[in-house]
């Protein structure tokens, strides 16, 4: 049984600690994974932000009900417009 799921980029933000915060979610908006990456490290290593990632189901967090519809819409839109490996 496959325990990974595809997640699509639904949110990107920056904080005052120079971190890039990426949120990837399932197309139903029920589960998400947040990644925090140092902007300097991403630039130095030339790390790309892709439209989608694969993640273990065990690493996902449930999305609050007030954000599920928004995340579902954003993830679905990304899935329709981009290939998973497209740089965003």
- At residue 20's C-alpha, the angle toward residues 72 and 66, to 5°, is 30
d(CA 59, CA 37) in angstroms, rounded, equals 17
Spell out the per-residue pLDDT of the chain, length 88, in tens. 469 999 999 999 988 888 889 999 999 999 999 998 887 777 666 778 899 999 999 999 999 999 999 999 999 999 999 999 999 8
Sign of CA dihedral 67, 74, 60, 30: positive
Domain boundaries in the chain?
Answer: 4-81
């Amino acid at each position: 049984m496959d325990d990974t799921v595809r997640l699509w980029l639904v949110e990107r933000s920056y904080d005052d600690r120079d971190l890039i915060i990426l949120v990837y979610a399932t197309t139903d908006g029920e589960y998400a994974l947040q990644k925090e990456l140092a902007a300097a490290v991403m630039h130095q290593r030339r790390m790309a932000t892709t439209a989608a990632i694969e993640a273990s189901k065990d690493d996902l967090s449930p999305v609050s009900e007030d954000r599920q519809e928004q995340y579902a819409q954003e993830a679905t839109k990304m899935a329709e417009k981009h290939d998973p490996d497209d740089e965003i």
